[in-house]
Amino acid sequence: MTFFHNHKCKFDYPVITMGTFDGVHLGHQKILATALNRAEASEGDVVVLTYYHHPLETIHRKTFPYLLTEQKQKEKQLNALGINCIMYLNFNLKMVDMSPDEFLEKIIIKELQAKEIVIGYDTHFGKLREGNLSFLKNRADRYNYKINVVEPFKINNRIISSSLIRDLIREGNVQEAEKYLGRFYSVIGKVIKGHKIGRGIGFPTINILSEDPNKLLPAIGVYICRVIIAGTEYSGVTNIGYSPTLKSTVIKEIETHILDFSGELYGELVEIFFYKRLRDEMIFSSEKELIKAIEQDVIITRKFFFG
């Protein structure tokens, strides 16, 4: 059985930390900082053991929109923190049935040769999630590794977790989510051809197809955003939804009007950062009313960024 999707890194004195790390939020960053400190003290290397997607996809054999970070985005965030060795588990149905002992012995010890393991207080692994902190502590002497436990990171007495952040994104509360992520939530996608209705009413938009079909989109509504195009940053207004006033579509779309920009972007990869939810998506009584609302959205967005 091949345990990893990618080739093993070269490492000395491996300090292992494992998890989905979806979002690479402030709680994750606390764990990763601890691992980096331990590696530096031991002149070793941090090895992040993670997954392309969430293990629940394999366990339940279905996909659903939940990802906070696309693979490239997760790697980018980990690299920015100083993590260079990222090992992706080949998490298939055989691995689902692995006992915690088998997982520990075959992967963490034999394959990765762990010298230290850094884990969060709620880490679980192995069949039925029976591998946990006490399990690892009980086997530390047998396999000659050290255990470092990171306590939960709280803000306003709330434990930071990926599930908490997902709930906030589903509600459209991107400002609250930013506190726990440590950055504004973003979606990466390719610019595709749309209906070209926006340019007809004086507000041309780009239509974005999310790079990962499992990416969690913020709640339907209108948002103040920043748009990164080929390394250049622009301000914009993004609508997530169905544009019911001008269209009769059943497909949820991401449309962004970029302030002070002109040009074709078809095929370009862009990243949209969501700063604040302005309002619900609405059905207006006329095109004129819609234009008034968009004009107001643009005014508020300019004031938000430029005062």
- The CATH number that applies at residue 228 is 2.40.30.30
pLDDT at 121: 87
**What does the alpha-carbon distance between residue 89 and residue 107 come to, in Å, rounded to a whole number?**
9
The answer to whether position 260 is within a domain reads yes
Range of the domain at 113: 14-159
- The whole-number mean pLDDT for each consecutive block of 10 residues of the chain, a chain of 307 residues, reads 86 94 96 97 96 74 82 94 94 86 95 95 88 95 96 93 96 97 97 71 87 93 96 96 64 91 90 96 80 92 94
Q: Do 241 and 291 have their domain in common?
A: yes
The pTM of the full predicted model, rounded to 2 decimals, is 0.91
How many angstroms separate the first and last alpha carbons of the chain?
58
Contacts of 204 (CB under 8 A, 6+ apart): 198, 257, 262
Judge whether 269 and 188 are in contact, CB under 8 Å: yes
Sheet containing 45-50: order of strands: 85-88, 45-50, 14-18, 116-120, 146-150
Q: Do 228 and 97 have their domain in common?
A: no
Q: Do 134 and 245 have their domain in common?
A: no
pLDDT at 171: 97
For 105, list phi and psi in degrees, rounded to 5.
-70, -45
| Token reading at 261 | 């920009």
pLDDT at 33: 97
DSSP at 293: H
The answer to whether position 6 is within a domain reads no
Q: Do 41 and 149 have their domain in common?
A: yes
Q: Do 295 and 243 have their domain in common?
A: yes
| Displacement of CA 61 from its chain's centroid (Å) | 21
**What does the alpha-carbon distance between residue 261 and residue 214 come to, in Å, rounded to a whole number?**
30
The answer to whether position 165 is within a domain reads no
Residue 58 buriedness (CB in 10 A; 0-12 / 13-18 / 19+):
middle
Q: Do 57 and 149 have their domain in common?
A: yes
The count of structural domains within the chain is: 2
pLDDT at 197: 63
pLDDT at 142: 96
> Any idea what the CATH number is for the domain that residue 87 is in?
3.40.50.620
pLDDT at 22: 95
pLDDT at 282: 80
